[in-house]
Structure 1
Amino acid sequence: MTALRLSDHPHHIEHLRLRDGGTLTVRLVAPDDGEVLQRYFRKLSMVSRHNRFLGAMSELPAGELDRFVHAGENDRFSVIAVMMIEGHEIIVGEARYGFEAASASFEFGISIDDRWQRRGVGAALLRNLGCRAAALGATRIFGDTLRSNAAMIGLARKLGFAFGRHPDDWKLVRFEKPIDPVHQEIPCASWKRAAERRMAEAVV
């Protein structure tokens, strides 16, 4: 497997437009985000935490939190989606993803703050993950969720994902869709540049 490079993951802030006209900011999680990220997970409802971690969990264990905030370990990366509310940066969603070069597969998991669900945050974040997947050369993007997670299933269906059985756990459903990293239009300019650089390097 080819290890991902931090240069493949721009550190600058990306601003995404929500359907209500608001601005969502997405950036990589940094080591000093540990405390605020843990507070975010603690404030999720029990149902949202259960859906995100596929089981009962009140917070991230220390070891897992450490992995979340250190970009690139085991080719996994985490991003937070934030909004400015009354002058304060508030986390309204997060995602963790990894790219496996051998299978050209991009796997992800996301959560959205309960107060910000059904407001377009999840769709914006998923589209951003699609940008990242295409830029890295993925031909397939997928995630797993509980069969009872109607919100995630509905969002994935709306964005064109197909559904199938999870290979190891009957309680889960896998949703995925193909990606054409060469011809797909990548709406995020920084990730489009990363894709073009990667393709140029492949030719050399």
Structure 2
Amino acid sequence: MKHIDLHDLERYSDVLLSRSGEVVALRFAEVADAGALQCYFRGLSPGSRYNRLMGAASELPESQLDRFTHIGEDNGFSLVATTKRNGAEVIIGEARYAIDDETNSLEIGLSVDDKMQGQGIGAALLGNLACLATALGAGRLFGDTLRSNDAMLALARKAGFALSPTPDDWKQIRFEKRVAFAPVDIPCASWRLAAIAANVHAA
């Protein structure tokens, strides 16, 4: 399986419109995002944070924060969804994936700010991850979530993932999807970039 060229990360960026018309950017997380990413996790509701971290926590543990913002360590990568608020970039969602060469898979997990849920952000993150999987030559996406995480399970079902019990953990459900199509172009949503650029110029 191919690996991301760390000098060419912008190739995999994405831009889209939320259902409310807000411009949202998807990109790889960077070391400089540590403070904003921690602020994002602290701002999640206790339930959303519990679902994402699979346990009670008031913030992202420092060891995990370090892994989230150092791209490529242990074959792990993080994406952030951002938008502009009062002229400043704000993180409104995140996704993490790890490359498993032995099984030709990407293991994934994600969360979306409670106030932005229902705006298509989670679906966009899953779509970007599927595009990355095809670009890397992976044949499978999968992740585990708590049985009580109704929002993630509904999102996975809608995105075409199959659900099954997580091996050796009755508290969790595994969502899995075979990726059988080839990417036509990178960035993953070049048609959305073009559409937004056309709208901006028209305005």
Q: Same fold (TM over 0.5)?
A: yes
Q: Which residue of structure 1 aligns with residue 67 of structure 2?
A: 67
CA distance in 1, matches of 2:42, 2:25: 21
Give ranges in structure 2 of 5+ residues lacking alignment: 191-203
User: For each residue in 1:118-164, what CA deviation from the matched residue of structure 2 results, as whole angstroms up to 9, or x when unmatched?
Assistant: 11111111111111111111111011111011111111101111000
Deviation at 1:192, TM superposition (A): 9.2
CA distance in 2, matches of 1:3, 1:74: 15
Against the structure 1 CA distance between its residues 32 and 88, is the aligned structure 2 distance closer, same or farther, given a 3 Å change threshold?
same
CA distance in 1, matches of 2:116, 2:129: 18
CA distance in 1, matches of 2:168, 2:16: 35
Question: TM-score scaled to structure 1, two decimals?
Answer: 0.85
Q: Which residue of structure 2 aligns with residue 190 of structure 1?
A: 187
Deviation at 1:23, TM superposition (A): 2.0
Q: Which residue of structure 2 aligns with residue 123 of structure 1?
A: 123
Task: Kindly tell me the number of residue pairs found equivalent between the two proteins.
Answer: 189
Tell me if structure 1 keeps the 8 A contact 2:135–2:182: no
Q: Which residue of structure 2 aligns with residue 134 of structure 1?
A: 134
Tell me if structure 2 keeps the 8 A contact 1:163–1:175: yes
Deviation at 1:27, TM superposition (A): 1.1
Q: Which residue of structure 1 aligns with residue 9 of structure 2?
A: 10
Aligned identity (percent) is 47
Tell me if structure 2 keeps the 8 A contact 1:26–1:79: yes
Tell me if structure 2 keeps the 8 A contact 1:135–1:192: no
CA distance in 2, matches of 1:120, 1:6: 28
User: What amino acid does structure 2 have at the position aligned with 1:174?
Assistant: R
Against the structure 1 CA distance between its residues 77 and 24, is the aligned structure 2 distance closer, same or farther, given a 3 Å change threshold?
same
User: What amino acid does structure 1 have at the position aligned with 2:96?
Assistant: R
Q: Which residue of structure 2 aligns with residue 145 of structure 1?
A: 145
The alignment partner of 2:10 has SS state of coil
The alignment partner of 2:74 has SS state of helix
Q: What is the RMSD of the two structures over their aligned residues, measured on CA atoms?
A: 2.1
Larger relative contact order (Cα-Cα within 8 Å, sequence gap ≥ 6): 2
User: What amino acid does structure 1 have at the position aligned with 2:116?
Assistant: W
Instruction: Name whichever of 37-46 and 61-70 sits farther off.
Output: 61-70
5 Å-filtered alignment, 1:21-60, equals 21-60=21-60
